[in-house]
Structure 1
Amino acid sequence: MNDLWKTLSGFTTKRVADPVRNVIFRTLSRLGVTVQSFNILLAVVVGVLSGLGAVVFIKLIDLFTWIFFDKVHGDLLGRTRALIFILPAIGGLLIAPLIKLFPTEAKGDGVPDAMEAITLKGGILKPRTTLIRTFTAAATLGSGGSVGREAPIAQIGAALGSSVGQFLRLSGEMMKTLVGCGAAGGIAAVFNAPIGGVFFALEVMIGDFSLQTFGPIVISSVIATVTMRAFLGDILQFQVPHYELRSAIEFVPYAVLGAICGVLAVGFIRLLDWTEEFFNDRLRVNPLLKPAIGGLIVGLIAILFPQILGTEMESVNTALFGQGAWFFLLFLGLLKIFTTSVSIGSGGSGGVLGPSLFIGGMLGGAIGKVFSLLFPSVVTTPGAYGLVGMGAFLASVVHAPITGIMIVFEMTNDYKAILPLMEATIIAMVVAKRLLPYSLYTYKLHLRGIDIVSGREMGVLKSLRVSDIMKKEFTTISPSATFDEMVNVFINNPTNYLYILDGDHRLAGVVSFSDIKSFVKDEELAHLVRAYDVATTDVVSVCPDDDLYTALNRFGYKNVEQLPVIDNPITRRLIGVIYRKDLLQAYQKELIKMEFREE
């Protein structure tokens, strides 16, 4: 199947892409289009494409929902509530073959893969990602999977932006910007929140707020939102009651809400990681059945609590209006954490942004009800806590406070709760980062050995280990060796470093050729010198499991050509050496491999 994609791609490039690309650039040259104007034009194109992609994606979800809930559950199963568990299981079976063939493009959230592409692959995402992710995510959502539609459309938009850049053979920096434009457009269109889409791309996807990046992303987000509204209308996601902050004392319960959201957000990240590990490594069944098993678990829970299915948000509106018992709202929020983890962990395709809003709304609604019962004169609008909880929980899951604040503001069109929203969001972020320094997205990349913050170079070096380049040949010398003995060893061995071991074969020191050079012309003093006298005893060393980024930093400590490798910091037994030139060669070779994989 992969060979078929490559064949079709190569055919398209040779027979179609080259002539079209030449016509485009000749036309732009004749019209005298500047680089800045060209970038704006590209942002508009990507905005239109991501907006249309969002419309198609939403309509496809509606189609699958109609098939599963109206035709299968309604006509075939007679709308029997006890049989609703079948629907997510069938959805899992439907997408399982694509997950097996294209795991990166089909399963899970998709945003970490887009972030990895921006950081390590020059913004290159495979064009097939758009089609595969659209189908698998729509099938998962339409069958009732407990996931969100926002992250898939972010990856779909990112893939569309990447496809435009690849078609035009743009530079790596412009490719990254177009991927950000696509992600911003997708989020903006599906949330009907253009400002939130901009900050999602800047805070989460790219991490770059420079003007060169900011301008195209803003344009793309606006155009995508306009495109979506042209087809689906200007829809307000949530209705909120009248809210008024009557006393500064009420900032205290909002702070408590923020802290609780931060703690539970980390629990959500950990649980999602555990369920993915369970389904991937511990569950010994046919991989094609795993998404169906996850769907079956979610479906069985939905018999009693259908609120956890898909992108159901009516319960959030209930919480925003202060309705429902506090313990039931809390239970629904915690239950959504579990079902979303199972849906995604088992291989389902969908995001966490929508579920995070649901969870935050339920938690906030529950806490608001509790405080209104305890302090009725202070907390007069418990529903506002649901609104604040949505932003705080979302921000602490993805580590994007501005995104969380702006998306909630745009989805409710209510500015009155902005102060407690900002307070709770920042507190939630501080607590979450204190407990776990990674967001849900960067944690997944961290587990793959990728440092998304530090960029391509560090990511490559951190993916390689000292053991990959270690040489087991090294030269040792006795601590009591004379000057003449040291000179003879240097002459007879192609090395500039001699290692001293103690009686237990532990690394005790190192003698470099430069350490004995000063004694060459002083024969009288040279006869008195022993190896241990000139050795460096605070030896900088590395272990086999250290990554090459750590090793590169250690090379810089002493500006040496090679480093000793010890078994561990406690026993310090010398087992090999690594050379700076080998580290650089390994880095260059890995970069070349990555380029080939991208092609």
Structure 2
Amino acid sequence: MRSFVDFRLLALRRLRATEWEGTLLWAALIGVLGALATIGFREGLLATERLLYGRSDGLVQIARGLPEWLRLLAPALGGLVAGAVLLAARRMPLAQGGDYMEAIALGEGRLGLRWSCLRALSSAATVVSGGAIGREGPMVQLAALAGSLIGSWRAVPVPRRRLMVACGAAAGVATAYNAPIAGALFVAEIVLRSLAMESLGPLLVAAFAANVTAGLLVDAAPVYRMPAFVAPHGAPMVLLASVGLLAGFGAPLFLGLLDGANALFKRIPLALPLKLGLGGLGVGALSLAAPQVWGNGYSVVNAVLQGDWLWTALLAVLALKLLAVASTTGSGAVGGIFTPTLFVGAISGALFAIAAERLWPGAVPAPAAIAVGMGAFLAACTHAPLMSVLMIFEMTENYGVVVPLMLACVLGYSISRRLRPRSIYAGVPELNAHAPALTMAADLLRTDSATVRVGDSLAALEAAFVRWRRPHIYVLDAEDRFAGAIALHDLAPLVKQGTAADAPWPAALLRSNFPRVELGTPVWKVLEVFATHPGERLPVLDAAGRLAGYVTKTDLVLMLRERLAVG
């Protein structure tokens, strides 16, 4: 037994996992759980559609097969149900709520289980009844909930818990759109506003794990089926990239329409369920003229990609869809606006291709213009051009559009931001600006300290190293005061010499001058101590010198990244 412990101790010295590696492992687990939550929600929607309509081949097809009276009333009835569920969620205590963006940027990085599930249920009622809104919102919320639950279970400090929620959100986006790279960048670029490796690395791992999990369970085909086309080169490529100009001027108008609808519904003196029912009734009325307004627009975009549409039909569908989206979101329905944004960009790109064909026949392939239009409009609305480029590439798996897409996204972003500084996720900067400041070591405290006591046997010290797998073990005296620390590499020579295990560990092992901070030590002072200490952890003492826990360098870096993002 002694030799086995010694072997593990020596192996630990060389193979012990770092805090960074542990973070990546937790990110992978969150990615798997986030993918399962996302897939579960999507399959639940399909099952509900089959139960209600006897089919689940797309909401547009369902709308076409319904009698007109039911096509009119179904979104209204769904809105009433969604509003009633959402009203129940809003009556819960604030501590049990929180949107995933708020959890990442504000507060303690916690999401309420019941609150999140009720919002997802409300969104499901809107989606399956034909509401013109995306289903990705509740998907990402439920995936982020997995990160929040893991963080609460592990009792990690606030910066680490926020990162875990962010990993869940990245997993949700990656699974919803089969776009792992863009999923990670969506959270990094829009919510965290940072591409630092301390946060981007775990996001990428979570998105990768989610993508692998989804690939094992469901079809991993591209979201949009791109027909074959010859990618433009030279001057036609510049012409194609000019779709970004259209997106840059169009996105502020689209966002203004959504703001106006929201303001209009706020002035209507109706209870929340009735407001959502009224919004659904608007969608139902519009669907009498065009069933394509039902749903998030995904199937319509694929249809436009595959066939020739008259410009009049495209313009009519675009106008009606804009009104349907405004009616749904303005009424207060819970859901995503991401996919409807892609719809508007796709139809805009298709109209651009028709106009370009009149001026320069054969120069701009219609599928390429549709894809570039989606990306440019997404960049113009989200103010995240890098994410938009990668999102379109991953959703279409077509490299031929990437080069003009890059310029189009930058143009769309630049013009839109000039005309309207606030993006579609305008609340995130304000949330970050009001996030509570973490100013002391106590704010980053972790309590699972690895300790032994003065006078313990060498065997007890070896067992502590094997159990905790850390480079240092903290030493406490009889009154629980911090006496110093013992380093693993100082113990290793004694193990090799075969020192008696039942003897007390030698006093020479103790580093009584080991760096430490106090609960009230400001973070800038903690940073100074870390600058001269190569380790990952620092012990934290209370006013009486007793060990309260420790802080990690990774948590400190994450906290500083948040503060710098705000500034």
TM-score w.r.t. the length of structure 2 is 0.69
Determine helix, strand or coil for the equivalent of 2:425: helix
Amino acid at match of 2:235: I
Structure 1: where are the runs of 5+ without partners?
Answer: 1-27, 460-599
1:86 matched residue in structure 2: 73
2:390 is the counterpart of 1:418:
no
2:421 to 423, 432, 437: 437
2:316 is the counterpart of 1:331:
yes
Over alpha carbons, which structure has the higher Rg? 1
When residues 453 and 262 of structure 1 are mapped into structure 2, their CA distance, relative to the original with a 3 A threshold, is: farther
When residues 248 and 334 of structure 1 are mapped into structure 2, their CA distance, relative to the original with a 3 A threshold, is: farther
Q: Is the 8 A contact 1:326 1:367 kept in 2?
A: no
2:381 to 373, 386, 397: 397
When residues 162 and 345 of structure 1 are mapped into structure 2, their CA distance, relative to the original with a 3 A threshold, is: same
Structure 2: where are the runs of 5+ without partners?
Answer: 1-11, 439-567
2:228 to 222, 242, 256: 242
Q: CA-to-partner distance for each residue in 1:348-372, whole Å, 9 max, x for gaps?
A: 1210111111111111011111111
2:361 is the counterpart of 1:376:
yes
2:337 to 344, 348, 352: 352
Amino acid at match of 1:89: A
2:42 is the counterpart of 1:39:
no
2:89 is the counterpart of 1:102:
yes
Distance 1:262 1:129 in 2: 36
Q: Is the 8 A contact 2:241 2:372 kept in 1?
A: no
Q: CA-to-partner distance for each residue in 1:107-163, whole Å, 9 max, x for gaps?
A: xxx9x9332332221322222243123212222111111011122222222222122
1:233-382 map, 5 Å: 233-280=219-266, 282-321=267-306, 323-379=308-364, 381-382=365-366
When residues 310 and 78 of structure 1 are mapped into structure 2, their CA distance, relative to the original with a 3 A threshold, is: closer
Of stretches 187-196 and 285-294 in structure 1, the one that deviates more from structure 2 is 285-294
Of stretches 234-243 and 346-355 in structure 1, the one that deviates more from structure 2 is 234-243
Determine helix, strand or coil for the equivalent of 1:234: coil
Q: Is the 8 A contact 2:103 2:165 kept in 1?
A: no
Q: Is the 8 A contact 2:389 2:405 kept in 1?
A: yes
Distance 1:266 1:117 in 2: 27
Distance 1:162 1:267 in 2: 36
2:541 matched residue in structure 1: none
* Number of aligned residue pairs: 419
Distance 1:230 1:32 in 2: 31
Shift of 1:301: 0.8
Shift of 1:68: 3.4
Q: CA-to-partner distance for each residue in 1:240-299, whole Å, 9 max, x for gaps?
A: 12333444222443344212112221122121122122212x112233211111001001
Determine helix, strand or coil for the equivalent of 2:361: coil
Distance 1:218 1:233 in 2: 21
Of stretches 313-322 and 399-408 in structure 1, the one that deviates more from structure 2 is 313-322
Q: Is the 8 A contact 2:31 2:205 kept in 1?
A: yes
Distance 1:367 1:81 in 2: 33
1:456-471 map, 5 Å: 456=435
Q: Is the 8 A contact 2:35 2:214 kept in 1?
A: yes
Shift of 1:189: 0.5
Shift of 1:78: 8.2
2:146 is the counterpart of 1:160:
yes
Shift of 1:194: 0.7
Amino acid at match of 1:292: G
2:169 matched residue in structure 1: 183
Amino acid at match of 2:400: K
Determine helix, strand or coil for the equivalent of 1:278: helix
Q: Is the 8 A contact 1:137 1:348 kept in 2?
A: yes
Distance 1:307 1:388 in 2: 22
2:47 matched residue in structure 1: 63
Distance 1:160 1:83 in 2: 37
Distance 1:254 1:105 in 2: 50
Shift of 1:103: 3.6
Q: Is the 8 A contact 1:333 1:362 kept in 2?
A: yes
Shift of 1:387: 0.8
Amino acid at match of 1:94: V
Distance 1:403 1:135 in 2: 29
Q: Is the 8 A contact 2:86 2:118 kept in 1?
A: no
Q: Is the 8 A contact 1:325 1:366 kept in 2?
A: no
2:193 is the counterpart of 1:207:
yes
When residues 105 and 332 of structure 1 are mapped into structure 2, their CA distance, relative to the original with a 3 A threshold, is: farther
Distance 2:106 2:288 in 1: 44
Q: Is the 8 A contact 1:184 1:200 kept in 2?
A: yes
Shift of 1:435: 0.7
